[in-house]
Chains A and B, each alone.
Chain A
Amino acid sequence: MADSDGRQIDSINHAADGDGKGHGIVRAKTEGKELTKEEKQRLRKEKKQHKKNKKDDKVPTEKEKEKEKPSVQAPSKPVTQSPTHKAAAPVPVSASASESLAAAEKPVKTKAELRAERRARQDSERTSKQGKKEGGQQSTTSKPKASPSELQPVVKRLPEHVQVDDPAALKKLAKKLERQQVPLRSDYGYKVSLFSHLHQYSRKNPPTQQISIPATVIHPSVVRLGLQYSQGIIAGSNARSVALLHAFKQVIQDYSTPPNEELSRDLVNKLSPYISFLSQCRPLSASMGNAIKYIKKEISNIPSQCKEEEAKGKLQECIDSYVNEKIILASEAISKYAIEKISNGDVILVYGCSSLVNHILCDAFEKQRKFRVIVVDSRPRLEGREALRRLVKKGIRCTYVLISALSYILPEVSKVFLGAHALLANGYVMSRVGTSQIALVAKAYNVPVLVCCETYKFCERVQTDSFVSNELDDPDDLIVTRNGKTHLENWQTVKSLGLLNLVYDVTPPDFVDLVITDLGMIPCTSVPVVLRVKNVDQ
């Protein structure tokens, strides 16, 4: 082992001779991932400077750069194993190359081309350097353990799906999708000016239409999942998360580590284009985001000595236990707490279709509580009808109204139970559009509002209004035909007419009286405490 380490350091020094940033690479190898990030950031800044200085002779300098590459490549051959380190090592190489050539008209594009060529070359070179690679791996496995102990002072990057009005961000996304071979979905229809920073897609053009059959880059179960998301067949945050995890289980089952790759790193990379594809089909929900973070963490924690079958089995087990703990058992726990809040003779109001709230009500009914339910529904999704069917099948007495009749029905109500899509760190509840309205009117009539939410939906974002981060659904859903007349049929032709179909809204914490989670019953403002406790646990 020591021998190979020694050899590795020698080879690193060789590479160090080639450029001025060798010490940076040595540091990167031994001290972990964060420094590599800093390294990358520094290099990026330098590149920007070069861009400012020289803005001419793009094409010939590119060619020259490519020619220079092979000569510089040789000493850095044995250095890299993982893609991140691949990026770190060639970046100083190309930085020096650009320095020498005094070009860097478009470093982004050239970097991508360079990277692709480098990867191809290194793949072939790797086969001859097995031994050195194994030595290097031991130093790199220490890196994932380093990060969780500190409070991450990460520069938070804004998610792409709220930057639709920024053409640079759109270009970046298009390039990324092209690289991953994921189809880009185009926006549909006239967007209301207040929401020009969000995507608006049409259900009639799912991105799956642009994928060839058989899908080579994207696993078929993920394609199917994407279609189900974009058509609204799977809706509701729990259902979406569970479906996502099942699809990933399938992916892991069918995955086989390519030669000279490590499962913990390669599988994470394989998942990235799938995630991009799914977010093109429908923006990811907070619960899905947390689930994906968990999977990625579990995958990267797989020790390298683990055999492939064993690793895969372990991952499948992890996913199963996540679903079991965070979703199924959590709902049991929440139901136990909630049933204390339901007394005989209650009239309970629910909105839309929340799987958790339905479960609570069915449980309470089985435990012989006497109550009746009022289901409030809203256009255009009309999800309340699904909840109505489930409750009626159980035998619960139900009333059904639309949300515009809320003021009429609320004097009869004794409690309001609401589900949540996510709970934000400043105590706001993000849920289906209309929830905040229900909470508002309930407050005006002094009816207690209880929100039921599992802890895996807690998220670190903060938001104060429903505009900055939301989802725009297909605007054609609002069109309705009444008495043979469809007024909005040709809304696209009228240029001053816009349709707005929001999916989510945020409820301020002063409207919510209690949040029932699997950890207990907490006030809305205790969400950051729970998040902190969770982080410390992990």
Chain B
Amino acid sequence: MPGADKETDLSERIESFLSELKRCGSGAGSLRGSAETARETSALLRRITAQARWSNAGELMEIIRKEGRRMTAAQPSETTVGNMVRRVLKIIREEYARSRGSSEETDQQESLHKLLTSGGSSEDNFRQHFPHLKANVIEAINELLTELEGTTDNISMQALEHIHSNEVIMTIGRSRTVEAFLKDAARKRKFHVIVAECAPFCQGHEMATILSKEDIETTVIPDAAIFAVMSRVNKVIIGTQTVLANGGLRALNGTHTLALAAKHHSTPLIVCAPMFKLSPQFPNEEDTFHKFVSPHEVLPFTEGEILSKVNAHCPVFDYVPPELITLFISNIGGNAPSYIYRLMSELYHPEDHEL
């Protein structure tokens, strides 16, 4: 039966996606960038919408939520997946509301008055069946995909507004967004880039070779020299893995040190992050915030006798508080860290914060 085939095909795809997620989280950043992950997630969600069996919005949302929970459980540190799921859920809500005829704003705003008077959640509202809902949702997800394709370009287009000539810019590790940003600026301006290599994965080396191929003057420094050279740096431009709900960052280890050094020298810290990295998490969860990889990266097995007597840690991420950040550059423009919570309320529905 074609339906069953579709279902097995769908579940196969989901399974393969999950296994990819599990694999690529083995430290050293992702095997592919977050943008790709976001695109694949959205494409998969579109497929689910198209091929799964559902009759009304509520059921669709249930299915997507279930799959979303599985995907985030496969790789908790890859928050882009969860963000895309939340975006799609919001799209569904919007389309449902539009089909119903009521304006979206009144549903979104949770004023205190509404909390008192309305009481329960609006979930039972999603039981109505609309024939064109599927097509609308798929179209909206296509729009989302187009938006995702253009994020890097949108960010790089703003490069010339922020980099003047003969600047010394510092960055850490490897970020594809920052790479595109700097390459775009290098087409018109001459500047110098210092890359901190970010041990133990040393992704900074790759970044430096890529940048130097574009004829950008690049210098690689070890992490220990970050404070030493900071006095000569004009701007610090970094990428991040996630932007948290309070405006803080979950970025590569070593970024907090970089941010503190920049603050000490009053050097602006600019974060280039597309909107799909914005996640409604807060940094309070001590035990779930950090991710560790094998301490073999830090203390290799060749060290022999002392290995059993020593604890070695290799955290992958660092928390950077929002006070240390000067500016966020995203595909919708530049924002201060204090505005991030507002952007988040526009992207996600508060009920979807917990999948």
On whether the beta carbons of A488 and B303 are closer than 8 Å, the reply is no
On whether the beta carbons of B315 and A496 are closer than 8 Å, the reply is no
Chain B neighbourhood of A7, CB < 8 A: none
> A437's contact among B200, B227, B299, by CB below 8 Å, is which?
B227
Q: Mark each residue of chain B from 196 to 225: 1 if its CB lies under 8 Å from any CB of chain A, else 0.
A: 011111100110110011011111111111
On whether the beta carbons of B199 and A400 are closer than 8 Å, the reply is no
On whether the beta carbons of A500 and B220 are closer than 8 Å, the reply is yes
Chain B neighbourhood of A405, CB < 8 A: 253-254, 313-315
Measured CA separation A502–B230 after assembly (Å): 13
Query: Interface-forming stretch among A123-131, A316-324, A377-385?
Result: A377-385
Query: Interface-forming stretch among B86-94, B151-159, B304-312?
Result: B304-312
Given contacts A433-B228, A496-B212, contact A404 B198 (CB under 8 A): yes
> B224's contact among A378, A400, A499, by CB below 8 Å, is which?
A378
Given contacts A437-B257, A467-B232, A487-B209, contact A388 B223 (CB under 8 A): no
B290 contacts A by Cβ under 8 Å: yes
> B197's contact among A478, A491, A497, by CB below 8 Å, is which?
A478
Measured CA separation A430–B314 after assembly (Å): 28
- The minimal Cβ–Cβ distance linking A293 to chain B, given in whole angstroms, is 28
Measured CA separation A498–B229 after assembly (Å): 14
Chain A neighbourhood of B318, CB < 8 A: 404, 407-408
Given contacts A379-B222, A399-B311, contact A496 B228 (CB under 8 A): no
Q: Mark each residue of chain A from 384 to 415: 1 if its CB lies under 8 Å from any CB of chain B, else 0.
A: 01001100100001111111111111000000
**B200, B205, B290 — most chain A CB neighbours (10 Å):** B205
A494 contacts B by Cβ under 8 Å: yes
On whether the beta carbons of B220 and A441 are closer than 8 Å, the reply is no
> A488's contact among B220, B253, B257, B314, by CB below 8 Å, is which?
B220
Measured CA separation A497–B218 after assembly (Å): 5
A501 contacts B by Cβ under 8 Å: yes
B163 contacts A by Cβ under 8 Å: no
> B310's contact among A192, A380, A400, A403, by CB below 8 Å, is which?
A400
A194 contacts B by Cβ under 8 Å: yes
On whether the beta carbons of B225 and A478 are closer than 8 Å, the reply is no
A57 contacts B by Cβ under 8 Å: no
**A434, A478, A497, A505 — most chain B CB neighbours (10 Å):** A497
* Residues of chain B from 161 to 203 with CB closer than 8 A to chain A in the complex: 197-202
B264 contacts A by Cβ under 8 Å: yes
Measured CA separation A422–B224 after assembly (Å): 18
Chain B neighbourhood of A478, CB < 8 A: 197, 205, 220, 222
Measured CA separation A465–B231 after assembly (Å): 8
On whether the beta carbons of A494 and B199 are closer than 8 Å, the reply is no
B256 contacts A by Cβ under 8 Å: yes
On whether the beta carbons of B229 and A404 are closer than 8 Å, the reply is no
Measured CA separation A401–B199 after assembly (Å): 11
Given contacts A379-B199, A399-B310, A487-B205, contact A498 B220 (CB under 8 A): yes
Number of B residues whose C-beta is below 8 Å from A?
52
On whether the beta carbons of B209 and A378 are closer than 8 Å, the reply is no
- The minimal Cβ–Cβ distance linking A285 to chain B, given in whole angstroms, is 18
Chain A neighbourhood of B299, CB < 8 A: 385, 400
> A502's contact among B216, B225, B309, by CB below 8 Å, is which?
B225
On whether the beta carbons of B221 and A500 are closer than 8 Å, the reply is yes
> A498's contact among B219, B256, B310, B312, by CB below 8 Å, is which?
B219
On whether the beta carbons of A497 and B228 are closer than 8 Å, the reply is no
Measured CA separation A502–B22 after assembly (Å): 39
B261 contacts A by Cβ under 8 Å: yes
Chain B neighbourhood of A497, CB < 8 A: 208-209, 212, 218-220
Given contacts A400-B311, A404-B253, A405-B253, contact A433 B225 (CB under 8 A): yes
Measured CA separation A440–B256 after assembly (Å): 11
On whether the beta carbons of A385 and B303 are closer than 8 Å, the reply is yes
Given contacts A385-B303, A398-B310, A496-B212, contact A408 B253 (CB under 8 A): yes
Chain A neighbourhood of B208, CB < 8 A: 487-488, 497
Measured CA separation A408–B232 after assembly (Å): 27
Measured CA separation A433–B224 after assembly (Å): 6
A101 contacts B by Cβ under 8 Å: no
* Residues of chain B from 240 to 288 with CB closer than 8 A to chain A in the complex: 252-254, 256-257, 260-261, 264
Measured CA separation A389–B309 after assembly (Å): 10
Residue of A nearest to B172 (CB): A404
On whether the beta carbons of A440 and B232 are closer than 8 Å, the reply is no
**Which residues on B are within 8 Å of A, measured CB to CB?**
28, 197-202, 205-206, 208-209, 212-213, 215-229, 231-232, 252-254, 256-257, 260-261, 264, 290, 298-299, 303, 306, 309-315, 318-319
**Which residues on A are within 8 Å of B, measured CB to CB?**
192, 194, 378-380, 385, 388-389, 392, 397-409, 432-434, 436-437, 440-441, 444, 465-467, 478, 480, 482-483, 487-488, 491, 494, 496-502, 505-506
The 9 closest A-B pairs by CB, nearest first: A434-B224, A404-B254, A407-B256, A378-B224, A505-B228, A497-B212, A487-B205, A466-B228, A437-B227
17 contacts between A and B (CB under 8 A): A379-B200, A392-B309, A397-B309, A401-B298, A401-B314, A402-B200, A404-B200, A408-B253, A437-B261, A440-B264, A466-B231, A467-B231, A480-B202, A483-B28, A491-B209, A494-B213, A500-B229
Question: With contacts A194-B229, A379-B222, A434-B225 known, what are 9 further pairs, Cβ within 8 A?
Answer: A194-B232, A379-B200, A392-B309, A403-B223, A404-B198, A407-B257, A408-B313, A487-B209, A502-B221
